[in-house]
Amino acid sequence: MAQENVPTVDLRNGGTKNGCSKAVSFSALKPQLVVQAPKAAEAVQFYKAAFGAEELKRSMHPKRKADQELPLILSAELKLGSSVLLVCDQTDECVAKVKGEEKGSGCILCLETDNVETAVANAVKAGGVIIDGGELTDGEGACCGGRVGKVKDPYGYVWLICSPGKMCTDVEG
Amino acid sequence: MAQENVPTVDLRNGGTKNGCSKAVSFSALKPQLVVQAPKAAEAVQFYKAAFGAEELKRSMHPKRKADQELPLILSAELKLGSSVLLVCDQTDECVAKVKGEEKGSGCILCLETDNVETAVANAVKAGGVIIDGGELTDGEGACCGGRVGKVKDPYGYVWLICSPGKMCTDVEG
């Protein structure tokens, strides 16, 4: 139970000692690159060619405005070394609401944790601002599945705090 | 010696099969958040309080324009879960040149590899553009030590391809 003086803190974050009310552990931090629609598919090809990225999963946007439109990528998950990079088309679901007033492409930081509520509460207590409606959503149709909270930090970066393992439905190929 | 048919490809990237001339393996992908100077120190505090991030290293900018100015952070390395996040003040060395025409804060993707030259060549072959002078630099005073190549991808993201292990001088505390 006692967690003090743990020799390695690799997967534990010192929440309490740093002023958080409750310690939360994060299983992954995945940068998500938002690409001007409909170029996410092209961007995925680029990251494969440029860096040898390996595509793990891809989930597509369920709706298109017109049949002739290209299907948009809600989230493509790429393995790059031991890290994961997410790529998505800029859509209302994926970005416009997440980025708030910001337009154009940008990088969102996806943080995975089993304790989304506490993680979001800690971030808000530290000075972050919940965006996109102010409520934790269940994220269907969004970039993340499971519980999702979106917090903008005081420096303009958007953090997407979500449950792990439910990222994207598998729509490989 | 023979690396073919490795059962897990976690740390190997399928460069060849994806069209790269030479496979390069990447040891880490670290998002670097560029913060409007001199707020990087404050941002580091925020990430500690909000997410329980643990500071591993910090390197400071060697020069200040005036004594009354706050020292700027060239690179602070934060552990968040099993991932590493970099935070830096926006300075000429760290950002202005990296970001080129872009102003304001932004996210740079630091990719670590033992084979910077080939990784940069692969990225350029795939359609990336070398920025910041067009030459690999040795990165002293920059965010990364060792060999550093900066490549802008066709979607506007800047990749800082550098040698691992030499990231930042230890100026802990």
Residues A125 and A66 in one domain: no
Provide ipTM, 2 decimals: 0.76
Contacts of A67 (CB under 8 A, 6+ apart): none
A73 and A122 together in one domain: no
Position A3 pLDDT exceeds 60: no
Q: Has residue A157 been placed in a domain? A: yes
DSSP state of A102: -
Q: Is residue A18 domain-resident?
A: no
Inform me whether the pLDDT recorded for B21 exceeds 60: no
Task: Note whether residue A4 is domain-resident.
Answer: no
> Domain boundary at B98, B119, B143, which?
B98
Token output for B17: 């099969």
Within-domain flag for B21: no
Q: State the pLDDT confidence band at A148, using cuts at 50, 70 and 90.
A: confident
Distances (CA, A) of B6 to A55, B9, B10, B11: 17, 7, 10, 10
What pTM did the predictor assign?
0.77
Best mean pLDDT range from A152-161, B104-113, B126-135: A152-161
Same structural domain, B89 and B111:
no
Using the Cβ of B100 and the Cβ atoms of chain A, whether some distance falls under 8 Å is answered with no
Domain assignment of residue B1, yes or no: no
Domain annotation covers residue B25: no
Last residue of a domain, one of A98, A128, A153: A98
Average pLDDT, chain B: 75
Same domain, A34 and A93: yes
Token digits for B172?
């802990």
Lowest mean per-residue pLDDT among A89-103, B25-39, B68-82: A89-103
A71 touches chain B (CB under 8 A): no
Are residues A122 and B79, on separate chains, in Cβ contact within 8 Å? no
Query: Domain tally for chain B?
Result: 2
Contacts of A28 (CB under 8 A, 6+ apart): A84, A110, A111, A112, A164, B81, B82, B83
CB within 8 Å: B13 and A81: yes
Q: pLDDT per residue over A17-31, tens digit each?
A: 444 457 899 999 999
CATH of the domain at A53: 3.30.720.100
Compute the half-sphere exposure of residue A11: CA atoms within 13 Å on the CB side of its CA.
5
Looking at the structure, do residues A77 and A107 belong to the same domain, yes or no? Answer: no
pLDDT at residue A118 is higher than 50: yes
Q: Could you read off the pLDDT of B67-85 as tens digits, one per residue?
A: 667 788 989 999 998 899 9
Single residue among B54, B73, B98 that ends a domain in this structure: B98
Min distance A148 CA to chain B CA atoms (Å) = 15
Residue A49 near residue A32, CB atoms below 8 Å: no
pLDDT category of residue B92 using cuts at 50, 70 and 90 = low
Is residue A134 in some structural domain?
yes
- Do residues B68 and B128 both lie within one domain? no
- Which chain B residue lies closest to A153 (C-alpha atoms)? B46
Same domain, A83 and A121: no
Range of the domain at B156: 101-167
Give residue B45's pLDDT band: very low, low, confident or very high (50, 70, 90): very high
- One domain for residues A78 and A111: no
Measuring CA to CA, which residue among A100, A102, A103, A76 is closest to residue A89?
A: A76
Q: What is the CATH number of the domain that holds A118?
A: 3.30.720.110
Is residue A94 located within the same domain as residue A111? no
Q: What is the pLDDT of residue B151?
A: 92
